[in-house]
Amino acid sequence: MFDLIALCLISILVYTFSRNRRQSSTPPGPRGLPFLGNALQIPKECSWLAFAEWAKIYGPVMHVHVISSSIIVLSSREAISDLLEKKNAMYSDRPVIPMAGELAGFGKYTAMLPYGQRHREGRKLILGTVNARKAPELHAIQEAKAADFVSRLTRNPSEFRPHLRWLLASIVLQITYGINVDSYDDAYVRAVEIVLNDFSEVTAPGAYLVDGLPFLKYIPEWFPGASFKRIAREANERASQLVVNLYKVSREQMDHGAATPSFVADILAYNPSPTPEEEDLYQQVSAQFYGAGSDTTVSSLLSFFLIMAQHPEIQRKAQAEVDAIVGDRLPKCSDCKDMPYLEAVLKEVHRCNPVVPLALPHHVRREDVYAGFRIPAGSTVIANTWAVLHDPALYPRPDEVIPERYLGKPDEHPDLNPDPRDFAFGYGRRVCPGRMLAEDTLFIVAASVLASFNISDAVPLEGETIEYRGGVLSHPDEFTCNITPRRVV
Ligand code: HEM
Ligand SMILES: *[C@@H]1O[C@H](CO)[C@@H](O)[C@H](O)[C@H]1NC(C)=O
């Protein structure tokens, strides 16, 4: 206990001292409380909206501080590109997050690894499966699952949310492990859902004191008020167990000669007798597919259903385009190039409601200077993707859904309406390695749904309006809608 008090005092002293000495040249930002800084001003939900408001006052390079850590928030296309892209060798690290990364163990997965050898290996493995050469194999899986989704939706349209969750879990488990799951109640799907819930719980912004006062991670689990230690330990155990189990099932299928093509099969074909260390890496990288690829895509598809229900005229136009290309058959991934209007609709889905509105936090180890401001060594660097995608100077009338904004002659306004996906999937050497997989899934599901159903009457389950919420990932409030078949499937 006395250690705790002493540590508190020391951090206050160190903090006050360093702040007075250096404050002058860091970028501007909202004035905060002594010691706590801006901790209480940053909302736990939709912080991107608050950051976007502050940026109107303080500019596109902002300094926010939470207890002893500096956060640099970048809110313009230019600032994000200058730092995260042009200086990507410097800005591609990740901050260490005590609760989620260290205690709950999520720090060992590619998306949260520090910039270095193991991170590079993880991305290389993922891109060995998610690439243009492998696309035909992936498309076959995506098309079959989308067709299955359409028939499930026809039988039971009110269950579109669990069907979507099944769909995404089922695509990623098939592609990663060659495991075929039949229903939302499947044991693997349920285990994945629990781990994803654990992840969003432990990454909930501002929920855990230990994230602001990292030394608290050393207090024992039995200590009064230390329930976060138990929450983290249990999440860690569940995640590790799932990662190992899925990999084991996949290997066993292969040992019995029943392997379908998959990420794990690809890796083991290349390296049939991995060392325990390699096996450990393979397990953690495999987990990224469901870890990073399912909730994100589900959320984009929920936005797609919502936008279709709220904009019947856009839906009719997209349906007309799909009908003209596919006739009576079901859509294929290769139809994408013939459906510019649907592609523009999907760009609006990403722009209006980016699923990862602040990307994932980057981190800079060494001090830097930008636009005359000092970026302190050890700062967390956040790109406000939401702010860029709603910047009226880039996207006129940013709050309206206008697919046509991407369809004009490109040379008329070359600087307007850039492809929102170049922001929505993140930046620099941390840019989403699953982008191709995600885009193909969004396309094939959107095209199949439009070919087969009319969507209308989105109504929130609770309250008056359907809002977007979330801490790291943004998703719409639960809603119901009418999904009526347009043809016999
Ligand atoms: C709509 C779907 C998706 C969206 C919007 C999305 C977006 C993002 C964003 C914004 C980041 C952070 C980039 C940064 O820090 O600058 C990211 C990272 C990542 N995504 Fe995705 N993603 C999606 C789907 C997927 C899928 C299907 C996979 C499957 C492989 C995936 C795997 C990853 C991984 C492994 C990372 C970490 C990359 C790193 O730290 O180097 N994502 N994604
Ligand atoms: C779908 O919507 C269109 C346009 O509102 C309408 O003409 C058509 O009858 C609808 N189809 C079904 C099966 O409800």
Q: Is residue 442 part of a domain?
A: yes
Q: Whose CA is nearest to atom 13 of ligand 2?
A: 486
Whether residue 452 lies inside any domain: the answer is: yes
Neighbours of 421 (CB within 10 A): 19
State the distance from the centre of ligand 2 to the C-alpha of 93, rounded, in angstroms: 51
Residues 477 and 462: beta-carbon distance below 8 Å? yes
Beta-carbon neighbour count of residue 234 at 10 Å? 12
Distance from the alpha carbon of residue 386 to the mean position of ligand 1, in angstroms: 16
Quickly count: other Cβ atoms within 10 Å of residue 245's Cβ.
14
In a domain, 14, yes or no: no
Strand partners, 373: 370
What digits encode the pLDDT tens for the residues 374-391? 999 999 999 999 999 999
For the chain, what percent of residues have pLDDT higher than 90?
83
Does any domain span residue 291? yes
**pLDDT, tens only, 193-209:** 999 999 999 998 888 98
Ligand 2 pocket: which of 315, 486, 487 to mutate (most atoms within 8 A of CB): 486
| Count of structural domains within the chain | 1
Indicate the SS3 state at residue 251: helix
Q: What is 391-419 written as a DSSP string?
A: -TTTSSSTTS--GGGGTS-TTTSTTSS--
CA pair distance 307, 302, nearest whole angstrom:
9
Ligand nearest to the CA of 299: 1
**128: domain range?**
99-361+396-485
Residue 373 lies in a domain: no
CATH of the domain at 122: 1.10.630.10
pTM above 0.85, yes or no: yes
Q: Is residue 350 part of a domain?
A: yes
Nearest-CA neighbor of 382 among 143, 129, 50?
Answer: 50
In a domain, 249, yes or no: yes
Rounded to the nearest angstrom, the gap between the alpha carbon of residue 177 and the centroid of all alpha carbons in its chain is: 21
Residue-level length of the chain: 489
Q: What lines the ligand 1 site, CB under 6 Å?
A: 110-111, 123, 126, 130, 288-289, 292-293, 296-297, 300, 355-356, 359-360, 424-427, 430-434, 437-438
Residues with CB under 6 A from ligand 2: 316, 454, 484, 486
Q: How far apart are alpha carbons 258 and 244 in whole angstroms?
A: 19
> Model confidence over 20-31: pLDDT tens digits?
444 459 999 999
* Mean predicted confidence (pLDDT) in 43-60: 96
Quote the ligand 1 centre to 54 CA distance (angstroms): 26
**Mean pLDDT taken over the chain:** 92
Task: Indicate the residue type of 120.
Answer: R
Q: What local confidence, expressed as pLDDT, does residue 2 receive? A: 41
230-245: average pLDDT: 96
Q: How far apart are CA 310 and CA 433, in angstroms?
A: 31
Probe residue for ligand 2, chosen from 308, 454, 457 as the CB with the greatest number of ligand atoms within 8 Å = 454
What is the Å distance from ligand 2's center to 307 Cα? 17
Q: Which two tokens stand for residue 224?
A: 């009064």
30 falls within a domain: no
